[in-house]
Amino acid sequence: MKRIILYIMFFALLIVVLTACAMRTAERPRTSGHPALSEQEMLIACQDCHAQATPQTYRQWHQSGHGMATVKCYQCHGTFEGLRTEPSLDSCAVCHSGQWEHAEGQTCWQCHPAHTFEAGK
Amino acid sequence: MDRRDFIKRTAALTAASYVGINLPHGLGNLAQGADAETWVAGTCRLCGVGCRLELGLSKGKPVALRGIADSRTNLGYLCMKGTLFYQLIGHPDRLTQPLYRARKDQPFQAISWEQALDIAAREFAGAVKAHGNDSVAYYGSGQCLTEETYLFQKVMRGGLQTNNVEGNPRLCMASAVGGYLSSFGADEPIGSYADIEKAECFFLIGSNMAEAHPVVFRRLLKRKRENPAVKVINADPRISPTSRLADLHLQFRPGTDLALLNAMAWVILEEKLHDPAFIDDYCVFKAGKGDTIDLAAFRASLDAYTPEKTAAICGGNITPGVIRTAARWFARSAGTMSLWCMGINQRRQGVWANNLIHNLHLLTGQLCKPGADSFSLTGQPNACGGVREGGGLCHILPGHRPVVKDALRHQVEDAWGIPRGRIPAKPGLHTMAMFQGVNEGKVKAIWINCTSPAQSLPNADLYRKGLRRDDVFVLCTDIFPTRTTELANLILPTAFHFEKTGVYGCTERRSQLTPKAVDAPGQAKPEVWIVREWAQRLAKELGDPVIARTVEPFAGLEPDAALPEAIWNEYTQKLTGGRDNDLRGATYKVLRQMPDGVQWPAPTEAYALTGGTVRKFVRGLDPIADEEAKGSDKPFIFYGPAHADRKLYIWQRKYVGAAEEPDQDYPVYLSNGRIVDHWHTSSMTGRIPALMRANPYAYIEINPKDAARLGIAPNDMVEVESRRGKTTFPAKVIEGPMEGMVFVYWHDMDEERMINKVTMDAYDPGSKEPEFKISACRIRRVSGPKALKPFIVKL
């Protein structure tokens, strides 16, 4: 009898947990390719997770002129809801409008590798 | 999703960013900023750098901002705040109609402008009749346009006959003003940002410019990366993002920088790194309140600050060796530029700390030549132009005129066409005395314009008590609800940047025009219109035609362009001629033509069209220096109004610690400052979703050794308690503040996270600027991590 009660309790708990998880997932908005985040997770700065999730990219950015000058992820890629995996060139234009002629029809990152932004290839 | 899954998925996502070349744009619309059809040039609304930018409009609505590449302030760069503040124009939280309540426990009621202006006039006039002229006060902001500050102070002084005219620059720049006046005889920097590209050594002290002035920092970064031999010294008790640029980081116990600066002077003299010719030609040594001493006496006074003695005072990583290295780099470079901000100014000995930085430049002749300057950074966009130059503090009139000087006061009265004697000779209440006056019920009506003292004053709870009094009428003009509008009787909605026209004067003596580009929402109005209409009603209430005379020249002018231009013309043409901030050439006509405004002195339009004066006091570069040379064979003429002897003063200033040092009960140093994503009390940046998300609440930074000792893990909730109050923050365990010190971001307006409930309200005896940057506290872990929500005051 004890074993039956334990089984019942276990399955009841399982149902509660799964229901909670399903609700939690349903509450999480999704966007272009980024894993779903809860409202609370969205309040974590991009670089705080990406230092661990994508350490090479983080290091490249951190050591770059952008990283040194506190130009942050969201200034090029947007925030969670409006994430642009590949930035719009408009976001570059905010600061680098003077460089468009020099670009000669290419994107910035064709010559200045994304995140390191070293001198042109 | 577990962490492994997260890493896997984000790694794939990031890899994709290297691949795609599928451009959403052809080059034809590059740099067009979304769908903007037209671009209107103006100046950034936020910090004191003065970045020039363009507001992009689509169908008349603001959709983007971008930097102006031709601008000599920002060279096209903007920070995230400068990129995004267009979102505040038409923001749903904007105040759009006048709101009133007779008692502060009542809800606000919407009223008409007619009613609002009548109430404002009745309350201020009533206070004057019942309690005298000094029972009313104006507390403004370094964010107001010059035209606004000028007109407010004109009505208060010339109309209501009180010098109770103050502004929040008292909280940030007053010590820099005191330092410039007492060392150089003239306020504001001698050089310009242009010196950055010429400097061979940077001495950064008390400034986290990477976050507080990110665009100027970017110029330093570029200079250093392109010229690795350039030396960067960063002196700060906290390792900050600015420190990443440093070749040498001097980390000292908070408040001991006065000793450190004296020790550098000692090394300069001991090792004969000084410039005897510059000293002989231009400097005198001063002690006490101005007694002249000689070099030997000055040198002897520094014997208390040998590198060995000073290392023991400073603690941290300070050794005799690093002091000598810093002094040698400073003195030997072809051009050394010092930059500092609130770490120096917001101190009980802020003026002295400024003097000691200037001393290093005077001893070594690191001044008035390319790449050499003693350059105070400014926190707000118009603290210099509007408040320091426009007469926005209790002791100064427009054009850098001390109110106590009869002749200068009469010049102003004559220019305004009001009787001599109308402006009181006695300075009014400085900021801390003004809010103490509110607490004591001596100030009966206060107009708070474009700032939130309920959050930004130190020891804020003490001063919020006064603002809550029902016998003190509180009027706020603002664009958003704040911690201060919560305590108001009357809230008047104002136009925001680009919704009105006017001039900002930034850190480097540069005045720049921002024109109206869009209509203000609802019934919001430009402040210049509000003051004019209020003054006309005040004149009737008090039966005093002289009050009406203060706004008579502006009667009937439309408020969007003609009114601010008329005010600017009166100020510049009547009150800056013959003064060091001569702006007569910087007319609206000229300012409209310039990509980046004009640096004063600029006496004529023809000269202003060259851009103005890049370096003050240098013959051939400064028209006033040329005019004042009068047969002198020297290249520099120091004509500053505060030093009749035309000398620069090297001050003997002893090391004095903080007003409140840690002790047994409160054993930890508390400091605070900005983070890059937010500005001031976050009433603006907190309403821009990207910025709020980037830094949703304030943290407390704790040194890992202290955290280990106190059992504090990252994100644990930590209580900070001082003798004045307590607050609680999530912990960031980081090699930032030195051991025995914590650092808190000050922007958060959540009641539980407002650090100014804890900070110290002692102030500098000369500048009256409070010592925000140092107080004593104790900290303790109260819980593990807690889910927090960002907070913004709503109506």
Instruction: Give percent of chain B above pLDDT 90.
Output: 95
Task: Return the bridge partners of B618, or none.
Answer: B636
Looking at every residue in chain B, the average pLDDT score rounds to 95
Q: How many angstroms separate the most distant Cα atoms in chain A?
A: 81
Flag whether pLDDT at B694 surpasses 50: yes
**What is the DSSP-derived secondary structure letter of residue B425?**
S
Q: What is the pLDDT of residue A13?
A: 47
Q: Say if the Cβ atoms of A107 and B23 lie within 8 Å.
A: yes
Q: What is the pLDDT of residue A30?
A: 43
Question: pLDDT-derived band of residue A99, with 50, 70 and 90 as boundaries?
Answer: confident
A10 pLDDT more than 60: no
What is the sign of the dihedral through the CA atoms of B458, B462, B466 and B467?
positive
> pLDDT digit string (tens) for B460-513?
999 999 999 999 999 999 999 999 999 999 999 999 999 999 999 999 999 999
For B69-101, give the DSSP string.
TT-TTTTT---HHHHHGGGGTT-TT---S-EE-
Residue B7 sits at the chain A interface (C-beta within 8 Å) = yes
A74 touches chain B (CB under 8 A): yes
Between CA B682 and CA A31 the distance in angstroms is 28
The mean pLDDT value for B89-96 works out to 97
B-chain CB neighbours of A72 within 8 Å are 80, 676-677, 694
pLDDT at site B33: 53
Residues of chain B with C-beta less than 8 angstroms from the C-beta of A103: 27, 30
The pLDDT assigned to B21 comes to 24
Contact of B116 with B100, CB cutoff 8 Å: yes
pLDDT above 70: percentage of residues in chain B: 96
Q: How far apart are CA B252 and CA B248, in angstroms?
A: 13
Instruction: Using alpha carbons, list the distances in angstroms from residue B740 to A77, B666, B677.
Output: 38, 11, 27
User: What whole-number percentage of chain A has pLDDT above 70?
Assistant: 72
Query: What is the spatial distance between Cα B385 and Cα B138, in angstroms, rounded to a whole number?
Result: 18
The CB density around residue B794, as the number of other CB atoms within 10 Å, is: 8
Side by side, which strands form the sheet with B231-235? B248-250, B231-235, B201-205, B336-340, B373-376
Q: Using CA atoms, how far apart are residues A100 and A105, in angstroms rounded to an integer?
A: 8
Residues of B in contact with A114 (CB under 8 A): 17-18
pLDDT for B758 equals 98
Q: Is the confidence at residue B76, as pLDDT, over 50?
A: yes
Model confidence at A26: pLDDT above 60: no
What's the mean pLDDT when you consider all of chain A? Answer: 77
- Whether residues B67 and A57 touch (CB distance < 8 A) is answered with no
DSSP assignment letter at B443: -
> Whole-model pTM?
0.93
B148-197 pLDDT, tens digit each:
999 999 999 999 999 999 999 999 999 999 999 999 999 999 999 999 99
By the CB < 8 Å criterion, does B24 face chain A? yes
What ipTM goes with this model?
0.89
Q: What are phi and psi of B552, to 5 degrees?
A: -55, -40
Sequence-distant (≥ 6) Cβ neighbours of residue B619 within 8 angstroms = B625, B626, B629, B635, B636, B637
User: With 60 as the cut, is the pLDDT of residue B422 above it?
Assistant: yes
What is residue B756's DSSP assignment?
G
The CB density around residue A48, as the number of other CB atoms within 10 Å, is 10
Q: What is the mean pLDDT of residues B423-439?
A: 98
Looking at beta carbons, which residues of chain B come within 8 Å of A93?
A: 30-33, 66
The count of CB pairs under 8 A between chains A and B is: 131
The model's pLDDT over B550-588, given as tens digits with 9 standing for 90+, comes to 999 999 999 999 999 999 999 999 999 999 999 999 999
SS3 breakdown of chain A: % helix, strand, coil, rounded to 5? 60, 0, 40
Question: Which of B24, B20, B13, B62 lies closest to B42 in space, CA to CA?
Answer: B62
Compute the average pLDDT of residues A101-114. Answer: 84
Residues 548-607 of B with CB under 8 A from A: none
For residue B69, give the nearest of A70, A77, A97 by CB distance: A97
Find all residues with CB under 8 Å of B202, minimum gap 6, and list them.
Answer: B220, B224, B230, B231, B232, B233, B336, B337, B338, B339
678-717 in chain B: CB under 8 A from chain A = 689-690, 693-697
Query: Which residue type is seen at B475?
Result: L
User: Do the Cβ atoms of B80 and A72 come within 8 Å?
Assistant: yes
pLDDT band of A6, cuts 50, 70, 90:
low
Residue A103 has pLDDT above 90, yes or no: no
Answer yes or no: are the C-beta atoms of B43 and B57 closer than 8 Å.
no
CB contact under 8 A, A85 and B76: no
Q: In this predicted structure, what is the pLDDT of residue B22?
A: 26
The pLDDT score that the predictor gives to residue A83 is 87
User: What is the identity of the amino acid at B168?
Assistant: N
- pLDDT value at A120 more than 80: no
B32 pLDDT band (50/70/90 cuts)? very low
Q: Which residue of A has its CA nearest to B19?
A: A86
Q: How many CB atoms lie within 10 A of CB B629?
A: 16
Q: Of the ranges B13-22, B46-55, B91-100, B403-412, which one carries the lowest mean pLDDT score?
A: B13-22
What pLDDT is recorded for position A7? 57
Q: Which of A107-111, B384-388, B608-612 has the lowest mean pLDDT?
A: A107-111
- Residue B14: per-residue pLDDT: 31
Whether residue B383 contacts residue B172, with contact meaning beta carbons closer than 8 Å, is answered with yes
What residues 183-242 of chain B have any CB closer than 8 A to a CB of chain A? 210-211, 214, 217-218, 221-222, 225, 241
